[in-house]
Amino acid sequence: MPEPIIRAFGILKKCAAKVNMEYGLDPSIGKAIMDASQEVAEGKLNDHFPLVVWQTGSGTQSNMNANEVIANRAAELLGHKRGEKFVHPNDHVNKSQSSNDTFPTSNEFKDIVKIGRTHTQDATPLTLGQELSGYVTQVKYGIDRVSGTLPRLYQAAHDAIVEAGGALNTLAASFMKIANDIRFLGRSWATMLPSQWVDQNGHFELNVFKPLMANALLHSIRLLGDAAASFEKNSVRGIQANKERISKLLHESLMLVTSLNPKIGYDNAAKVAKTAHKEGCSLKEAATTKLGVLTQEEFESLVVPEKMIGPSA
């Protein structure tokens, strides 16, 4: 992992600790986390970051790597040994953080809470509106980029053609990603959006490939336009939420266990999830009956998916 990213993690975790202290994090632990994070930001703990860039998620492993390093170093600063979890990597350092970004909301589905998905596995909840509006933002960015390059095609420079072709490929990749997401989420049909590289090999002042470049660019625009129109007509238009199915999957998901972390801690929450998975029972049964770490009333007050889709007041 590049050193600037490691240092950036230090800055991020230091700022997060400062904010978390305002929301109940023990001041002595918070100060130690800030000091340890500063050491990371200064590059003093680089040797403790062995991970490479080839990792899943949006840097999840490096995020946890930073949590572990900072937690152990903060514990040392407070006179404790590494590994004792006096400063916990999840409960204290990673408190209320994720390596994933969130998306703006969409009015039509803003009240439908569903289980999130990363790597085709359950993740923390979000609204269907948040999910779909992320796609809208992604496509809008691609369209804006294409639109920004097209006016320059009337100029003599051929770079604009190449840039427009690249922008079209980016837009096509966005459509492909969205189509695949909808296919996985809804188990429904998805279109295959083709894209075509715009290449050029002209020499000196006269580019004899210009007609070919123009033809390829126009062909790509037609293909992508037709595919996008077909995708909107046959797959996106008329999408309806199966609220009963969404609710069932949401409330059966073991990932709701993350809402228990603030009350019983990461380690106990992990035991609850593992117990529920192993014994085929619900999270509620695992937490209240099997392990006895919570009463039924406590569980019901904590596990409220609607409160997990954004910051709580």
- Read off the tokens for 273: 């999830």
Rounded average pLDDT over 216-237: 82
pLDDT mean over 16-34: 93
Residues 227 and 111 in one domain: yes
Residues 12 and 110 both lie in one domain: no
231 and 120 within one domain = yes
> What distance separates the 2 farthest-apart alpha carbons in the chain?
80
Identify whether residues 187 and 137 lie together within a single domain: yes
Residue 83 lies in a domain: no
Q: Is the domain of 111 the same as that of 62?
A: no
Instruction: Quote the CA–CA distance of 47 and 90 in Å, as a whole number.
Output: 21
Residues 224 and 131 in one domain: yes
User: 248 lies in a domain?
Assistant: no
Average pLDDT, the chain: 81
Q: Is 168 left (phi over 0), alpha (psi -120 to 50) or beta?
A: alpha
For helices 210-231 and 159-186, angle between their N-to-C axes, nearest 10 degrees: 20
Q: In this predicted structure, what is the pLDDT of residue 313?
A: 54
Work out the average pLDDT over 249-269.
92
Residue 216 pLDDT greater than 70, yes or no: yes
Q: Which of 109-123, 224-238, 255-269, 275-289 has the lowest mean pLDDT?
A: 109-123
Least confident of 12-16, 172-176, 213-217, 254-258: 213-217
CATH number at residue 39: 1.10.275.10
Say if residue 139 is in the same domain as residue 181. yes
Q: Say how many domains are in the chain.
A: 3
Q: Identify whether 276 is part of a domain.
A: yes
Please write the tens of the pLDDT for every residue from 79-128: 999 999 999 999 999 886 665 532 233 666 777 888 887 766 778 788 88
Structural domain span for residue 144: 106-194+207-238
Q: How far is it, in rounded angstroms, from Cα 237 to Cα 228? A: 12
For residue 226, give the CATH number of its domain. Answer: 1.20.200.10
Q: Are residues 68 and 160 in the same domain?
A: no
**Which pLDDT belongs to residue 18?**
92
**Could you tell me if residue 283 is inside a domain?**
yes
